[in-house]
C-alpha cells in the first residue's frame, strides 16, 4: 500500500467522532466532534459529514477518506446496516462522503479497523494471532489469525456474549457484556445504586479509588465480566496477545491487572496470552480508517 499518501481517517464512536489526517501511523492533524446520538441517527450522520467536510477543506490534498463505524456494516457497498448504540439503519456513508468531497472513500467497522492498525503499527506488530478488544460506548473485538483479519460483518461481537448480568442490553437481550462493562453502563449502574449522575466509567473508577465501596463493587463487576469473556476467547482462539483499546482502556493498570488475575485463575493448560493496552491509544480506529482509505486508492 502507498503509505506515503496523505489520507483522512474518521472513526465514529457512540460519544465522539475522531477525525485525523495521517501518513501511515503518523497523525498530522486531528479534530473531534460530538456524535450527538441522543439527538437521533440523522444528527449523528450529519456530524460524520461535518467531520469529513472540515478535514477535507483543511487538507484538500488528502488522497482518500476512510470512515469506520460500530455495528453491522457492509464494507463492500459502504453501508452502515445497523447500530444499536447510534441507531444507524442502512446509511450509505461511502456514497454520502464521496458526494460531499469527491474523494475515493473506504468504509468499514471501527473495531476491525483498530485491530488492523494495532497489528500493523501498534501492540500487535510481530504477532500472528491476536485479539483486539475495544471497550467504549460499546464492546467488540477484532480477530487476527495467522496475520489475517477475520472480516465477517458479524464476527467479533463479544459485547453480546452472555455474562449473566441480569441487565438489559441495547440489542434487546438481557445479560450481555455491554450491559455491565461499557463506560455508559458502568456509570448507569453506579447512578442507580448511589443516586448519582456520573457520565462514564472513569468517574466510577475515580470514586472507587477514593474509597467509595459502591463504586468499587460496580467497577469490579464490570472488569470481572470482561475477564470472563476474554477467558472464553482464549479457550476458543488461543491468541498470543490481547490488546485492550477504547475509552475504558485509559484506566490502565486498574483494568489490565484484575483481568490478568482473573485469566490466571481460570486457565489451566491453555497458553497464556499477553494482555496489553493499545499502543495507539484511542487513535487506533482512526488510524485504521486511514489504512482502509489507502485501499480505496487501489
79-85, Cβ contacts within 8 angstroms, sequence gap of 24 or more: 79/107, 81/153, 84/138, 84/169, 84/170, 84/171, 84/172, 85/14, 85/37, 85/137, 85/138, 85/170
Count CB atoms within 10 A of the CB of residue 192: 11
Task: Retrieve residue 295's grid coordinates.
Answer: 485501499
pLDDT score of 25 = 85
Provide CATH code, domain 126-278.
Answer: 3.30.420.40
Sign of CA dihedral 175, 152, 149, 14: negative
Q: How many whole angstroms from its chain centre is CA 48?
A: 16
pLDDT score of 103 = 97
Residues whose CB falls within 8 Å of the CB of residue 121, separated by 6 or more in sequence, listed in order: 24, 25, 279, 280, 287
Q: Which of 172, 167, 175, 183 minimizes the C-alpha distance to 135?
A: 183
Task: Retrieve residue 216's grid coordinates.
Answer: 468499587
**Three-class SS of residue 102?**
coil
CA-CA distance, 188 to 222, in Å (whole number)? 12
Max CA-CA distance within the chain?
Answer: 55
Q: Please list the residue range(s) of the chain that carry CATH number 3.30.420.40.
A: 7-114+283-295, 126-278
Answer whether residue 1 shows pLDDT above 60.
Answer: no
The tens digit of pLDDT for each residue in 73-114 reads 999 999 999 998 899 999 999 999 999 999 999 999 999 999
Helix axes 183-194, 201-209, angle to 10 degrees: 60
Answer whether residue 2 shows pLDDT above 80.
Answer: no
The tens digit of pLDDT for each residue in 39-72 reads 999 999 999 999 999 999 999 999 999 999 999 9
CA-CA distance, 102 to 146, in Å (whole number)? 36
CA-CA distance, 124 to 118, in Å (whole number)? 5
Assigned CATH class of 7-114+283-295: alpha beta
Pairing of the two strands 241-245 and 130-135: parallel
pLDDT confidence tier of residue 3, bands split at 50, 70 and 90: low
CA-CA distance, 141 to 155, in Å (whole number)? 8
- Phi (first) and psi of residue 54, to 5 degrees: -60, -50
Answer whether residue 148 shows pLDDT above 70.
Answer: yes
Give the torsion through C-alpha atoms of 173, 277, 106, 170, to 10 deg.
10
- Across the range 281-291, mean pLDDT stands at 93
Q: Are the C-beta atoms of 115 and 143 separated by less than 8 Å? A: yes
Q: Are the C-beta atoms of 165 and 175 separated by less than 8 Å? A: yes
Amino acid at each position: 500500500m502507498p503509505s506515503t499518501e496523505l489520507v483522512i481517517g474518521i472513526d465514529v464512536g457512540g460519544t465522539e467522532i475522531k477525525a485525523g489526517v495521517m501518513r501511515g501511523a503518523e497523525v498530522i492533524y486531528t479534530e473531534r466532534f460530538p456524535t450527538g446520538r441522543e439527538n437521533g441517527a440523522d444528527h449523528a450522520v450529519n456530524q460524520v459529514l461535518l467531520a469529513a467536510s472540515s478535514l477535507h477543506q483543511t487538507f484538500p490534498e488528502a488522497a482518500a477518506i476512510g470512515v469506520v463505524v460500530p455495528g453491522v456494516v457492509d464494507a463492500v457497498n459502504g453501508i452502515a446496516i445497523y447500530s444499536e448504540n447510534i441507531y444507524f439503519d442502512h446509511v450509505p456513508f461511502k456514497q454520502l462522503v464521496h458526494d460531499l468531497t469527491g474523494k475515493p472513500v473506504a468504509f468499514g467497522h471501527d473495531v476491525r479497523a483498530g485491530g488492523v492498525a494495532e497489528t500493523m503499527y501498534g501492540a500487535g506488530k510481530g504477532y500472528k494471532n491476536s485479539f483486539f478488544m475495544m471497550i467504549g460506548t460499546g464492546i467488540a473485538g477484532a480477530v487476527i489469525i495467522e496475520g489475517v483479519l477475520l472480516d465477517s460483518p458479524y464476527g467479533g461481537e463479544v459485547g453480546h456474549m452472555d455474562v449473566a448480568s441480569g441487565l438489559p442490553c441495547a440489542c434487546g437481550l438481557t445479560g450481555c457484556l455491554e450491559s455491565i462493562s461499557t463506560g455508559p453502563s458502568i456509570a448507569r449502574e453506579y447512578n442507580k445504586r448511589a443516586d448519582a449522575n456520573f457520565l462514564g466509567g472513569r468517574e466510577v473508577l475515580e470514586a472507587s479509588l477514593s474509597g467509595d465501596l459502591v463504586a468499587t463493587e460496580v467497577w469490579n463487576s464490570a472488569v470481572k465480566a470482561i475477564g470472563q469473556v476474554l477467558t472464553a476467547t482464549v479457550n476458543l482462539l488461543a491468541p498470543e496477545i490481547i490488546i485492550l483499546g477504547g475509552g475504558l482502556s485509559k484506566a490502565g493498570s486498574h483494568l489490565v491487572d484484575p483481568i490478568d488475575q482473573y485469566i490466571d485463575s481460570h486457565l489451566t493448560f491453555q497458553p497464556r496470552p499477553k494482555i496489553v493496552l493499545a499502543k495507539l491509544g484511542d487513535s487506533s480506529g482512526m488510524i485504521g480508517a486511514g489504512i482502509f482509505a489507502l485501499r480505496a486508492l487501489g
